[in-house]
């Protein structure tokens, strides 16, 4: 597909737990080289000491301070950042700003790894947590966006790995070996780029593909 001259929204990248915006350095450079305006912020604290709902308020503040009120956005959330982004979209008005939404290896249905910490943000990412049950109770909202979930079946941070699947939107499997490589593997970068370049369309039925 020719992606030249497509209207492109600014892209906002949301990092995961114990990460900073630097985790996106390769993806940011890759997208900028191909013509996108790319933004990111550091969620503070980044270690789970506060709930993901509190972190999502930082996304609201960043978007308000950085973009004009009428500016549409594309949102890419990695790992915990995908859940923070969902809270922003589903609970804090992001639905009115975001057109394309991509999650990369995000624990939509929790990860057993989160049982290793009692910090509030980690408790929220446990399987069957009250927080995730609430967020998933109306996940159909995401069907109003161009939503894509990208994940690897070999993920050792998202356990079980298929917790990164969603029953709506588009699903892309990128079979890389390690969780962090989802942001640097050439196949992941190609999927993100192609997805952000697609014209806005009507909500998709669940559709699976592999890279």
Print pLDDT tens along the chain (211 aa). Answer: 334 445 799 999 999 999 999 999 999 999 999 999 999 999 999 999 999 999 999 999 999 999 999 999 999 999 999 999 999 999 999 999 999 999 999 999 999 999 999 999 999 999 999 999 999 999 999 999 999 999 999 999 999 999 999 989 999 999 999 999 999 999 999 999 999 999 987 554 444 555 5
Q: What residues have CB less than 8 Å from 52, skipping those under 6 apart?
A: 80, 83, 84, 87, 121, 124, 125, 131
Q: Greatest CA separation found in the chain? A: 48
List the structure tokens of 158: 């998202």
Name the CA dihedral angle for 82, 134, 93, 105, rounded to a multiple of 10 degrees: 10
- The DSSP secondary-structure symbol of 10 reads -
Q: CA torsion 146→163→179→186, rounded to 10°?
A: -30
Q: What is the value of pTM for the model shown?
A: 0.92
**Where do runs of H (alpha helix) occur along the chain?**
25-33, 52-66, 80-91, 120-124, 130-137, 186-197
Question: Residue 43's CB: how many other CB atoms inside 10 A?
Answer: 26
* Block residue for tokens 């909202």: 141
- E strands, the chain, are 11-14, 38-40, 73-78, 98-104, 146-151, 170-173, 207-210
Peptide bond preceding 160 in cis form (omega within 30 of 0): yes
Contact in structure between 134 and 86 (CB atoms under 8 Å):
no
């Amino acid at each position: 597909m020719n992606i030249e001259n497509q209207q492109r929204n600014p892209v906002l990248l949301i990092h995961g737990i114990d990460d900073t915006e630097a985790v996106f350095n390769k993806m940011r450079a890759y997208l900028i080289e191909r013509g996108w305006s790319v933004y990111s912020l550091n969620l503070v604290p980044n270690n789970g000491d506060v709930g993901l709902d509190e972190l999502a308020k930082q996304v609201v503040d960043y978007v308000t301070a950085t973009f004009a009120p009428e500016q549409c956005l594309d949102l890419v959330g990695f790992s915990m950042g995908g859940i923070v982004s969902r809270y922003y979209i589903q609970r804090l008005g992001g639905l009115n700003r975001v057109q394309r939404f991509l999650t990369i290896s995000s624990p939509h249905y929790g990860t057993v790894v989160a049982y290793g910490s009692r910090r509030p943000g980690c408790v929220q990412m446990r399987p069957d947590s009250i927080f995730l049950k609430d967020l998933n109770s109306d996940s159909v909202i995401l069907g109003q966006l161009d939503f894509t979930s990208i994940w690897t079946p070999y993920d050792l941070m998202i356990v079980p790995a298929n917790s990164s699947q969603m029953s709506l939107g588009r699903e892309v499997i990128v079979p890389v070996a390690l969780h962090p490589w989802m942001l640097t593997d050439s196949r992941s970068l190609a999927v993100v780029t192609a997805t952000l370049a697609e014209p806005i369309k009507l909500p998709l039925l669940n559709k699976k593909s592999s890279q």
